[in-house]
């Protein structure tokens, strides 16, 4: 029994950060949409990406990049509620599901996370453009921006790319 629980945990966790993985995120998003459809509730979705992370890895090496990703996961998680779901989406991308929250409040949380990362002293960050390790975020909210997972993911992805195009180290909550 304990072995089965351990295997299940390994199947849904990212090996580097210990956060939930991409597979778990997809399942959790589906469940959250179904729950909100049934109970007329809302949630927000945040995608975030580390700015210029390839530069960080190229200059400082992948072991330092791994340490930075672990630190990022810890810092982001420290700002979230117990009911929030933080996942490593892939590479240097993270996804957050924020149940039962307004769009305005999720934008405030996203901005707080962005500032927290910008103000944190990461090892070797002086090699980054601007001398800081930073993140860009896109945010979408169920109901306001769509009522299914694929639409919300399209919107949040579009906003993440807008944050990048507008200069990085930004939180984009609207088109």
Question: What's the pLDDT at 4?
Answer: 65
How many structural domains comprise the chain? 1
Predicted local distance difference test score (pLDDT) of residue 3: 67
Average pLDDT over residues 20-29: 97
Domain that holds residue 58: 2-172
CATH code for position 158: 3.30.70.270
Distance (Å, whole) CA 162 – CA 129: 19
**Distance of alpha carbon 165 from alpha carbon 173, whole angstroms:** 14
CB 166 within 8 A of CB 160: no
Contacts of 4 (CB under 8 A, 6+ apart): none
Q: Going by DSSP bridges, is the β-strand pair 93-99/135-141 parallel, antiparallel, or unpaired?
A: unpaired
What SS3 state is found at 107? helix
Q: What pLDDT, on the 0 to 100 scale, is given for residue 1?
A: 73
Share of the chain above pLDDT 90, in %: 92
Residues acting as catalytic residues = 92
Q: How far apart are CA 67 and CA 90, in angstroms?
A: 15
Report d(CA 33, CA 48) in Å as an integer.
20
Mean pLDDT along residues 94-117 = 98
Look at residues 46, 75, 13 and name the one whose alpha carbon lies nearest to residue 145.
46
Query: Per residue in 37-49, pLDDT tens?
Result: 999 999 999 999 9
Cβ proximity of 89 and 25 under 8 Å: yes
Q: What is the per-residue pLDDT across 147-171, written as a single tens digit (0 to 9) for each?
A: 999 999 999 999 999 999 999 999 9
The residue ranges of DSSP E strands in the chain, in sequence order, are 43-50, 85-90, 93-99, 135-141, 171-172
pLDDT value of position 6: 64
């Amino acid at each position: 029994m304990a072995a089965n629980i351990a295997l299940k945990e390994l199947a849904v966790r990212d090996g580097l950060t210990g956060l939930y993985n991409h597979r778990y995120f997809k399942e959790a998003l589906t469940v959250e949409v179904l729950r909100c459809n049934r109970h007329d509730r809302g949630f927000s979705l945040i995608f975030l990406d580390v700015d210029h992370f390839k530069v960080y890895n190229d200059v400082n090496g992948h072991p330092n990049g791994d340490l930075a990703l672990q630190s990022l996961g810890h810092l982001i998680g420290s700002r979230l509620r117990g009911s929030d779901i933080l996942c490593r989406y892939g590479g240097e991308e993270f996804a957050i599901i924020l149940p039962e929250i307004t769009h305005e409040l999720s934008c405030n949380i996203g901005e707080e996370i962005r500032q927290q990362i910008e103000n944190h002293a990461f090892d070797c960050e002086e090699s980054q453009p601007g001398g800081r390790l930073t993140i860009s975020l896109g945010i979408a909210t169920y109901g306001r921006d769509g009522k299914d997972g694929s639409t919300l993911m399209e919107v949040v992805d579009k906003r993440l790319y807008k944050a990048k195009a507008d200069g990085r180290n930004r939180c984009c909550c609207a088109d």
